[in-house]
């Protein structure tokens, strides 16, 4: 059995908000051509028909106000460029048009094509180059936050394509319930930042099972004492607020929150794990819930339909949706001292891969699960011999000692 | 091992008066649904339609989150109590005490009744 998998006891998922792959990591194409980022061949027409190329002019805050639209009809426009024909093809040509629809300002709408220079995001770009970066990880739905978060927790959104509360089907359990009710019993926890920033999309679990929840301070303590659960989901701070012991800046990177604050948060999570006794036994997945309406050039692929269909009224596009196409591509990085430096993964994933991986790794075969989750690829191989060396990302025979540190 | 410097955001990044975004708006709506299911004494008395800023949203979310935890903790508390002492023994003592009191009371009443009867017969 590969040593990395043999040692793995803990999986931590950190889910950030609303930024696309090209926006955050597109600059890395110039550093490593295997990373599918920005090239000089890319553009989008603005509302006057002028082609707008991506430019490395993204700023940390103040540039994406109003926040770009990520509701289903807006993302449909972004992906299909405004084509509503039944046999249409996705072309990723509607991002500038979509942002123009929000403010009617041609120049401002072009900012949706901006991306960050590598040195502006020292944490995210370093981790991407040092560990495994995913070229083809897509949001689960071409829609907003709540339905995409649902896929990370349940492997389905129960037919939801928007921001409405989930109508949870009791047959499909959350990944936390699966683990904590399994025999032999496993442990799982959702760490939200603090009580003013509870984990979005999981409030039903909060309502019914508050014991599953902890705060970020508890996460840091659990790392420190080597008491992390088998599975942890970490949420950032979604709002600026007074915590009682001082002011806290939102660090979820949701437009128009400060991106540097999010960099510090990501580094804090990484440092907490790296400096803990659990570093040899833990893998950290950093993932964004959806693209935030910001430009990405990769066409989302078709996928296995879920058992639900959203009506034409629910989608707002005049067309039903069978959950048979993924959303826009997002930045995703897998961190572990057992991953070779500079790993680039080309297989297709979406957020249903999170419960799929956690369930397969810790519980083996489990049902019932949604069709989307059952067909989703896993990013950590289950410990069932023989492990395919071409799929196993934790492939080193010995732990790395050259992993970076961040001064936060 | 490389140490990488991470710049901090400027002071101006903080703005609790920033209007709430779509994500926070949805979160408030979700929490409002769940607040309505709480026992009435745990309601926040915050009118959610007036929440416009991030600072206000944070305050409301904190209040409902704490209320949810409190309600569950209150429900859990009786279940977590140590086992009560054997009730049977207590009942036995109580029963014996009651019986004795009843016996005394009955005997006193009987005695008073017979005294009254005797007095009455003496009168006649």
Q: What is the largest CA-CA distance in chain A?
A: 62
Q: What is the pLDDT of residue B35?
A: 92
| Closest of A244, A245, A259, A351 to residue A58, by C-alpha | A259
Predicted confidence band of residue B122 (pLDDT cuts 50, 70, 90): very low
Give the range among A238-247, A288-297, A311-320 with minimum mean pLDDT: A238-247
Place of tokens 């995001």: A121
Please give the Cα distance from A61 to A254 (Å, whole number).
10
Could you give the percent of chain A with pLDDT greater than 70?
A: 99
Q: Which residues pair with A162 in a beta bridge?
A: none
| Residue A131 neighbours by CB under 8 Å, 6+ apart | A333, A334, A335, A336, A339, A341, A343
| Closest of A281, A354, A324, A404 to residue A134, by C-alpha | A354
Please give the Cα distance from B114 to B124 (Å, whole number).
15
Angle at A329 between CA A328 and CA A334, to 5 degrees: 150
Which chain B residues touch A210 with a CB distance below 8 Å? Answer: 68-69, 72
Residue among A60, A70, A198 minimizing CB distance to B65: A198
Q: Is B2 an interface residue toward A (CB < 8 Å)?
A: yes
Angle at A31 between CA A30 and CA A36, to 5 degrees: 65
Contact at 8 Å (CB) between A251 and A261?
Answer: yes
A123 with B16: Cβ contact below 8 A: no
Q: How large is the average pLDDT for residues A394-399?
A: 97
Q: SS3 of A333, please? A: strand
Rg of chain B, C-alpha, whole Å: 35
Query: Residues of B numbered 30-49 whose beta carbons fall under 8 angstroms of chain A's beta carbons: which are they?
Result: 30-31, 33-34, 37
pLDDT per position as a tens digit, A335-366:
999 999 999 999 999 999 999 999 999 999 99
Contact at 8 Å (CB) between A395 and A340?
Answer: yes
Residue among A163, A211, A267 minimizing CB distance to B6: A267
Predicted confidence band of residue B118 (pLDDT cuts 50, 70, 90): low
Give the range among A11-15, A157-161, B27-31 with minimum mean pLDDT: B27-31
Residue of B80 and A17 predicted with greater confidence: A17
Q: What is the mean pLDDT of chain A?
A: 95
- The conformation of residue A171, written as its DSSP 8-state character, comes to T
Rg of chain A, C-alpha, whole Å: 20
Residue B114 main-chain phi, psi, to 5 deg: -70, -35
Please give the Cα distance from B100 to B98 (Å, whole number).
5
pLDDT per position as a tens digit, A36-88:
999 999 999 999 999 999 999 999 999 999 999 999 999 999 999 999 998 99
Q: What is the pLDDT of residue B116?
A: 55
- Other C-beta atoms closer than 10 Å to the C-beta of A209 total 16
Q: What is the pLDDT of residue A206?
A: 78
Interface with A, mutate which of B15, B18, B58 (most A CBs under 10 A): B58
Could you give the percent of chain B with pLDDT greater than 90?
A: 45
**Which H/E stretch holds residue A273?**
helix A259-274
Cis peptide before B114 (omega within 30 of 0): no
Question: Strand (E) positions, A162-279?
Answer: 188-192, 213-215, 231-234, 241-242, 247-248
- Other C-beta atoms closer than 10 Å to the C-beta of A280 total 15
Predicted confidence band of residue B123 (pLDDT cuts 50, 70, 90): very low
Q: What is the pLDDT of residue A319?
A: 95
Q: What is the pLDDT of residue A299?
A: 98
Q: What is the pLDDT of residue A251?
A: 97
Q: SS3 of A28, please? A: helix
Please give the Cα distance from A25 to A405 (Å, whole number).
20
- Other C-beta atoms closer than 10 Å to the C-beta of B87 total 9
Place of tokens 């959203």: A310
pLDDT at residue A406 is higher than 90: yes
pLDDT per position as a tens digit, B64-112:
999 988 998 898 888 776 666 666 555 444 445 555 555 666 666 665 6
ipTM of the complex, rounded to two decimals: 0.86
Give A41 to chain B, closest Cα distance, Å.
Answer: 32
pTM, rounded to two decimals: 0.90
pLDDT per position as a tens digit, A322-336:
999 999 999 999 999
Please give the Cα distance from B1 to A57 (Å, whole number).
31
Q: Which two tokens stand for residue A177?
A: 């319930």
Q: How large is the average pLDDT for residues A201-218?
A: 83
Predicted confidence band of residue A396 (pLDDT cuts 50, 70, 90): very high
Q: What is the pLDDT of residue B104?
A: 60
Find the residue in B nearest to A406 (Cα): B4
Query: Residues of A numbered 187-216 whose beta carbons fall under 8 angstroms of chain B's beta carbons: which are they?
Result: 194-198, 200, 203-204, 206-207, 210-211
Residue B93 main-chain phi, psi, to 5 deg: -60, -45
pLDDT at residue A255 is higher than 60: yes
| Closest of A213, A177, A222, A174 to residue A193, by C-alpha | A213
Residue among B14, B18, B20 minimizing CB distance to A247: B14
Q: How large is the average pLDDT for residues B39-60?
A: 95
Q: Of how many residues is chain B composed?
A: 124
């Amino acid at each position: 059995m590969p040593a990395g998998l043999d040692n793995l006891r803990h999986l931590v998922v950190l889910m950030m908000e609303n930024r696309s792959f090209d926006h955050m990591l597109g600059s890395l194409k110039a550093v490593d051509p295997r990373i599918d980022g920005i090239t000089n061949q890319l553009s989008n027409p603005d509302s006057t028909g002028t082609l707008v190329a991506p430019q490395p002019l993204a700023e940390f805050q103040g540039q994406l106000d109003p926040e770009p639209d990520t509701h289903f009809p807006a993302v449909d426009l972004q992906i299909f460029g405004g084509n509503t024909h039944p046999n249409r093809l996705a072309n990723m040509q509607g991002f500038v048009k979509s942002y123009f629809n929000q403010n009617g300002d041609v120049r401002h709408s072009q900012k949706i094509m901006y991306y960050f220079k590598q040195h502006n995001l020292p944490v995210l770009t370093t981790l991407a180059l040092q560990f495994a970066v995913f070229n083809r990880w897509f949001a689960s739905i071409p829609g907003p936050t709540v339905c995409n978060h649902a896929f990370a927790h349940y492997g389905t959104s129960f037919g939801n394509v928007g921001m409405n509360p989930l109508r949870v089907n009791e047959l499909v359990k959350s990944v936390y319930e699966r683990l904590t009710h399994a025999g032999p019993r496993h442990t799982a926890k959702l760490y939200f930042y603090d009580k003013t920033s509870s984990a979005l999309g999981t409030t039903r679990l909060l309502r019914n099972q508050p014991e599953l929840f902890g705060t970020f301070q508890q996460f840091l303590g659990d790392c420190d004492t080597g008491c992390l659960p088998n599975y942890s989901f970490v949420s950032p701070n979604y709002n600026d607020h007074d915590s009682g012991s001082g002011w806290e800046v939102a660090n979820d990177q949701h437009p128009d929150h400060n991106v540097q604050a999010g960099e510090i948060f990501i580094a804090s999570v990484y440092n907490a794990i790296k400096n803990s006794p659990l570093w040899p036994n833990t893998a950290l997945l950093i993932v964004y819930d959806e693209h935030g309406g910001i430009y990405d050039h990769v066409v989302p692929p078709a996928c296995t339909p879920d058992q639900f269909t959203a009506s034409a009224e629910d989608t707002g596009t005049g067309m039903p949706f069978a959950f048979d196409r993924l959303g826009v591509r997002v930045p995703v990085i897998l961190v572990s001292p057992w991953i070779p430096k500079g790993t680039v993964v080309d297989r297709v994933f979406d957020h249903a891969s999170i419960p799929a991986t956690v369930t397969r790794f810790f519980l083996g075969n489990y049902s019932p699960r949604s069709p989307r989750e059952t067909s989703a690829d896993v990013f950590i191989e289950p410990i069932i011999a023989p492990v395919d060396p071409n799929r196993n990302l934790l492939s080193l025979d010995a732990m790395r000692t050259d992993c970076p540190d961040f001064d936060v | 091992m490389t140490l990488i410097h991470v710049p901090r955001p400027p002071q101006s990044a903080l703005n609790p008066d920033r209007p709430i975004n779509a994500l926070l708006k949805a979160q408030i709506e979700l929490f409002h649904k769940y607040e309505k299911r709480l026992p009435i004494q745990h309601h926040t008395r915050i009118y959610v339609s007036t929440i416009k800023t991030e600072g206000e949203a944070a305050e409301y979310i904190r209040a409902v989150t704490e209320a949810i935890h409190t309600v569950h903790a209150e429900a859990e508390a009786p279940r977590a109590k140590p086992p009560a002492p054997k009730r049977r023994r207590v009942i036995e003592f109580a029963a014996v005490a009651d019986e004795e009191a009843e016996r005394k009371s009955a005997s006193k009443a009987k005695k008073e009744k017979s005294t009254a009867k005797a007095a009455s017969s003496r009168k006649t």
